[in-house]
């Protein structure tokens, strides 16, 4: 009997004895030792001594004291308010649920909220404008799981500096977390990251308040809603840790906000879905995501250096997306766009950008707009380089970029006549083709590669070139059925043989023909425009009234036998561009051709005119079209007087 009694009664101060004492004390204080779900409404203090909780939903809220030993679960309902954890107390909570919006959990002094059990915070309110705010420091080792039911989209706001460890994640189909403090996510390092899993509802993890979150890793495998699942909701917010994006993951920023990612981006892709003026800035140099890059809406901007986005994947700019190279260069393995409301450009005021598309096989179509400035911001150029054997089709209606389009390999096919209207096409080992177009406008033309002025249906293409005003030299060969129209203030030089069949019209600037143009189409020069060179023209050459000739003392332009040079209005010394006082005396053949001298003025010595800025005069003469430069007659007169005086003086000496 005594033995059994000894087994039932623990020794004083043993672990078992102390546990029983603690349980008795809990019973004395709260009337219970089991964990319960307690309910609360309104504002007040959260401590372990006040009877300000209820055991039934809807109240009354004055029947229970918070049990901190075997922690209760809290449900906040009724009228929202601010619950303030008493100073010096760490409130242990198994889970926290708010069924109405507007609650704030704060802390006085050194008070804190310690997550235990599953670490669940449940906020099931169906409005993205509804907030549950926790400014009290959060501690614990079980992580934090944001959960919600149904289509709840309310936001849990973490505004305090927290130290809890474990993963921050989501459970349920639709809910969100917003952090406004750089230390809101507690411990960093292995096992302490943030995970946004894939779900069928709307999961959102938001940054606000211009914070910089350091060394925190995040995994994004949810699409979210407008702005994506990983989202800068206001201000410029920076995330320096690794960002891993899954198959369904999307990131972005709200209007006028920015998400800055200087850390490593890894995973299966980079997909941006922000609001129209929201900017996602990628500046890290170690990005290695395996798929392509997509911008569905908002702005994706480069920073920090060239090729910050993965170069081995394709770029897709869709719906209302914008890619801003911002003064840096970027290469992709392909380029597509599904709508004309997308943009690629350069917002920099200090450096040009070049977009390189290294498309090895197949065809990619970009229906968007290639521009210099982004939304009116930027003063530098965007250029395009095509590499790889594939075909890049440009079908956008608003291309205004003015950098060069360099064709190193493969083909750029334009399906819109204005796709390259301000860009100088630099043809190297690649090619330019015209889809079903019968006319096209190029900002300029240079390079060594050939260009056919026939489209893919073997129809003639009228190519207008020079509108960007640059002076360029084209050493390749023009062929096909089409024609050339020269516009713009610059001078275009043809240095090799061309055989295109159509006409050549010089409407502005200059055209220098230094090669053999065997096409028999008519060459025409408009008022104010000019032609010249040392090559051969196989067609008639027609000058409008006011048209000019580009003079080079070392060159003579030839016109094929049987073809004629004619003038529709007065043509004289004033129409010879490049003639000045430094031109040596002599006779120069401008054009070796059959020339109709009707409307040619300043013909013969009797009609010579002074050359501006010097003492010489010039006139034109037949024998093809020749320019003769002689001393001014007054110089001869003075010389004659000098000779007469010298002769008289010599006779007097005899």
Closest CA to 199 of 219, 227, 173: 173
Q: Which residues pair with 588 in a beta bridge?
A: 627
Instruction: Give residue 314's pLDDT.
Output: 98
The C-alpha atoms of residue 416 and residue 393 are separated, in whole angstroms, by 9
Dist CA 539 CA 560 (whole Å)? 7
Task: Check if the beta carbon of residue 61 is closer than 8 Å to that of residue 106.
Answer: no
Instruction: Specify the pLDDT at position 2.
Output: 41
pLDDT per residue as tens digits for the range 8-60: 444 555 544 434 344 333 444 444 457 899 999 999 999 999 999 999 999 99
What gap in Å lies between CA 147 and CA 177, rounded to an integer? 10
Token pair in block for residue 459: 């129809």
Exposed, middle or buried: residue 33 (CB in 10 Å: 0-12, 13-18, 19+)?
A: middle
Q: Judge contact between 374 and 322, C-beta under 8 A.
A: yes
Alpha-carbon distance of 257 to 113, in angstroms, equals: 31
Residue 28 has what pLDDT?
40
The two structure tokens encoding residue 227: 């702005």
Per-residue confidence (pLDDT) for residue 108, from 0 to 100: 98
Which stretches of the chain score pLDDT less than 70? Answer: 1-33, 150-152, 199-201, 634-654
Per-residue CA distances from 532 to 207, 248, 425, 497 (Å): 64, 61, 23, 16
Q: Which residues of 406-430 are buried (b: 16+ CB within 10 A; e: fewer)?
A: bbbbbbbbbbbbbbbbbbbbbbbeb
CA gap 566, 650 in Å, rounded: 55
Tokens of 24: 């008795």
Smallest Cα–Cα separation from 589: which of 553, 546, 636?
553
Confidence at residue 639, expressed as pLDDT on a 0 to 100 scale: 41
CA distance 186 to 167: 9
Spans of all domains in the chain:
25-192, 574-634
411 Cβ neighbours under 8 A, 6+ residues apart: 386, 390, 391, 392, 430, 431, 432, 433
pLDDT one-digit tens code per residue, 613-635? 888 999 999 989 999 999 987 54
478: its two tokens: 């023009």
pLDDT at position 14 is 52
* pLDDT of the residue at 635: 46
What is the predicted pLDDT for the residue at 31? 47
Burial class (CB in 10 A: 0-12, 13-18, 19+), 559: buried
**CA atoms of 354 and 382, how far apart (whole Å):** 6
Which residues does 246 contact at the CB level (< 8 Å), separation at least 6?
A: 198, 219, 220, 221, 267, 268
Each residue's pLDDT tens digit, 406-427? 999 999 999 999 999 999 999 9
Q: Tens of pLDDT along 202-261?
A: 889 999 999 999 999 999 999 988 889 999 999 999 999 999 999 999 999 999 999 999
Alpha-carbon dihedral sign for residues 629, 634, 636, 638: negative
User: How far is Cα 251 from Cα 351, in angstroms, rounded to an integer?
Assistant: 28
Strands 155-158 and 138-140: unpaired
**Beta strands 616-622 and 609-610, pairing class:** antiparallel
Rounded Cα distance between 156 and 175, Å, is: 8
Give dist(CA 60, CA 492) in Å, integer: 89
């Amino acid at each position: 009997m005594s033995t059994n009694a000894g087994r039932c009664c623990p020794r004083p101060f043993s672990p078992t004895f102390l546990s029983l004492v603690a349980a008795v004390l809990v019973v004395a204080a709260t009337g219970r030792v089991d964990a319960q779900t307690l309910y609360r409404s309104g504002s007040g203090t959260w401590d372990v001594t006040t009877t300000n909780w209820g055991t039934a939903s809807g109240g009354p809220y004055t029947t229970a004291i918070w049990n901190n030993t075997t922690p209760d679960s809290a449900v906040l309902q009724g009228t929202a308010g601010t619950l303030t954890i008493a100073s010096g107390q760490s409130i242990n909570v198994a889970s926290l649920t708010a069924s109405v919006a507007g609650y704030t959990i704060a802390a006085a002094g050194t008070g804190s909220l310690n997550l235990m059990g599953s670490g669940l915070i449940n906020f099931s309110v169906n409005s993205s404008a509804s907030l549950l705010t926790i400014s009290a420091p959060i501690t614990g080792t079980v992580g934090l799981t944001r959960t919600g039911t149904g289509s709840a989209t309310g936001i849990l706001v973490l505004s305090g500096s927290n130290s809890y460890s474990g993963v921050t994640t989501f459970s349920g189909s639709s809910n969100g977390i917003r952090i406004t403090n750089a230390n809101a996510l507690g411990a960093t390092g292995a096992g302490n990251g943030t995970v946004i899993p894939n779900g069928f509802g709307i999961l959102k993890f938001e940054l606000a308040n211009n914070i910089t979150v350091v060394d925190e890793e995040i995994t994004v495998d949810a699409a979210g809603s407008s702005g994506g699942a990983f989202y800068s909701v206001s201000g410029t917010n920076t995330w320096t840790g690794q960002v891993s994006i899954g198959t369904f993951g999307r990131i972005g920023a709200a209007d006028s906000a920015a998400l800055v990612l200087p850390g490593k981006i890894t995973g299966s892709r980079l997909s941006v879905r922000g609001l129209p003026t929201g900017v996602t800035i990628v500046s890290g140099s170690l990005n290695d995501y395996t798929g392509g890059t997509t911008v569905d809406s908002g702005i994706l901007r480069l920073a920090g250096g060239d090729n910050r986005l993965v170069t081995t994947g394709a770029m897709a700019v869709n719906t209302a997306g914008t890619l801003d190279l911002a003064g840096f260069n970027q290469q992709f393995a392909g380029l597509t766009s599904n709508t004309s409301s997308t943009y690629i450009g350069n917002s920099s005021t200090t450096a040009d950008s070049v977009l390189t598309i290294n498309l090895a096989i197949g065809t990619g179509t970009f229906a968007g707009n290639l521009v210099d400035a982004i939304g009116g911001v930027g003063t530098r150029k965007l250029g395009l380089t095509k590499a790889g054997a594939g075909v890049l089709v440009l079908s956008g209606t608003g291309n205004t970029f003015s950098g060069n389009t360099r064709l190193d390999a493969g083909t750029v096919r334009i399906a819109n006549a204005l796709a390259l209207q301000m860009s100088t096409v630099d043809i190297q080992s690649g090619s330019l083709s015209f889809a079903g177009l019968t006319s096209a406008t190029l900002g300029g033309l240079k390079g060594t590669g050939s260009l056919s002025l026939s489209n893919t249906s073997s129809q003639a293409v009228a190519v207008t070139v020079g509108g960007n005003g640059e002076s360029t030299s084209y050493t390749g060969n023009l062929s096909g059925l089409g024609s050339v129209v020269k516009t713009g203030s610059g001078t275009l030089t043809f240095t090799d043989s061309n055989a295109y069949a159509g006409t050549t019209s010089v409407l502005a600037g200059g055209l220098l023909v230094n090669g053999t143009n065997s096409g028999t189409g008519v060459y025409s020069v408009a008022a104010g425009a000019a032609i010249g060179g040392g090559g051969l023209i196989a067609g008639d050459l027609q000058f409008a009234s006011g048209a000019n000739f580009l003079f080079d003392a070392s060159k003579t332009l030839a016109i094929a036998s049987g073809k004629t040079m004619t003038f529709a209005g007065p043509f004289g010394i004033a129409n010879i561009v490049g003639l000045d006082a430094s031109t040596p005396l002599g006779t120069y053949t401008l054009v070796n051709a059959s020339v109709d001298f009707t409307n040619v003025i300043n013909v013969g010595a009797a009609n010579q005119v002074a050359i501006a800025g010097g003492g010489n005069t010039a006139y034109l003469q037949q024998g093809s079209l020749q320019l003769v430069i002689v001393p001014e007659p007054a110089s001869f007169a003075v010389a004659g007087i000098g000779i007469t005086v010298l002769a008289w003086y010599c006779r007097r000496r005899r």
